[in-house]
Amino acid sequence: MKRIKRTLSVILIVALLLTTLSASAFAVDTVQIEFTVPKVGDTMHKNGDTFTANEEVTCTVQAVYTGDEIKKITDALFETKYDVLKTYANSTYSPSEYYLGQFYLIILRLTGAISSATTVSSWNVFPTGENSDQPMYVYQIFTPTADSNSDDGDSGSSGGESNNTSSPDPTTSSKDVRVSYKAEKTQEVVSVEVSWGEMKFTYSPATEGTWDPATHEYENSQNAKWSYSGNTITVVSHSNVPLNATLTYTPTDGFDHITGKFLKEDNEDNAEIPENTMTIPTAVGTSVENPPTATAYLILDGALDKNTAYETVSGKVTITIK
């Protein structure tokens, strides 16, 4: 028994440890910045180093992302798979931090968050104090300026655009005219008017009729029935897209035995609207005075208790436009 208890205790402790470790795997690393972070629009000059391009690069900062922000982007992309991604980068081994940064760069390019012309550089920062032997990394993303992209590699050249292939004429200047075709997506605008009647329904229970002493029979007996005033629902569309209007009658508490259905015409013998859905065509090609319109007629079924208070709300109508 003692051995069982001991074994169970070990299992529980291990389970707790695993839970804690897995929770900490999703914790966001905090990077303390020891130097001044450049702002968007700043010009930066970077010498070549062993991790990135060997050539000098002069760039304009387009965006500055911290490790936390990059992680948010990748988290959104990979969701629960992030723990798998982390196995490809051991955050405790310095060179791997660079590759993790490159990986983030690829993700950002694929998602279109940055253009393909950007590059990322890992800046090694060695703090002072207790952890001075542990480098910290800040990844900065920037787009090379036109000067640093010039073919002769002279970042100090002046005048002329990087896309010009000929030497500038001192007496004339030229500028390429670029044209592009871009079709704006036609936005769907839905414009509807929905009107309804007073929605008053009266239930008349079955009656035996009037006793006729001459015949010893009841005359003019009636079945239970519902009568109504204002049972219409009309949907008018001024939209540039076709619409479906689905009508739903939902009984309120205590009136579950009262059901509602929607008919095409005000005649109880008429057919119900299929799936309680009216199709309204687009208003394109129609006049404002005669827009596409659809009308439904609500009728109720079921017996109403005689003790029901006058004009009690028995249900609600929901109109779903799609």
Partner 1 sequence: MRTITKLIVAVAAAVILILAGVLIVWKMVESKPLLPDRAPPDIEKNAVIDNTDSEKMDVPPDGGGASFNYAKEISIDLSTGTAELYFENCGSALYDASLILVIDDTVILESGLLPLGSRLTALSFPKDSLPLQRGGYDAALWVQSYDEAGNALDVNFQLQGIRVEVK
Binding site for partner 1 (CB under 8 A): 3-4, 7-8, 11-12, 15, 73, 76-77, 79, 187-199, 230, 232, 313, 315-322
Q: Which is nearer to partner 1, 207 or 293 (CB)?
A: 293
Q: Which is nearer to partner 1, 65 or 98 (CB)?
A: 65
Minimal distance, residue 251 CB to partner 1, in Å:
11
Contact 280, 292 (CB under 8 A): yes
Minimal distance, residue 11 CB to partner 1, in Å:
5
Q: How far is CA 173 from CA 152, 159, 176, in A?
A: 21, 11, 10
Whole-angstrom distance, CA of residue 295 vs CA of residue 196: 9
Minimal distance, residue 123 CB to partner 1, in Å:
24
Minimal distance, residue 3 CB to partner 1, in Å:
8
Q: What is the DSSP letter of 49?
A: -
Q: Which is nearer to partner 1, 101 or 315 (CB)?
A: 315
Cα dihedral 224/230/232/236 (nearest 10): 180
Written as one letter, the residue type at 236 is V
Minimal distance, residue 212 CB to partner 1, in Å:
39
Q: What is the DSSP letter of 272?
A: B
Minimal distance, residue 205 CB to partner 1, in Å:
24
Would you tell me how many other CB atoms lie within 10 Å of the CB of residue 282?
A: 14
Q: Which is nearer to partner 1, 120 or 243 (CB)?
A: 243
Q: How far is CA 80 from CA 74, 75, 101, 241, in A?
A: 11, 8, 20, 39
Residues 6+ apart with CB under 8 A from 314: 201, 251, 252, 255, 258, 300, 304
Dihedral sign from CA coordinates of 130, 135, 137, 143: positive
Whole-angstrom distance, CA of residue 65 vs CA of residue 138: 8
Q: Which is nearer to partner 1, 15 or 17 (CB)?
A: 15
Whole-angstrom distance, CA of residue 38 vs CA of residue 277: 59
Q: Which is nearer to partner 1, 31 or 317 (CB)?
A: 317
Whole-angstrom distance, CA of residue 262 vs CA of residue 138: 64
Whole-angstrom distance, CA of residue 205 vs CA of residue 208: 10
Q: Which is nearer to partner 1, 180 or 187 (CB)?
A: 187
Q: Which is nearer to partner 1, 214 or 288 (CB)?
A: 288
Minimal distance, residue 64 CB to partner 1, in Å:
14
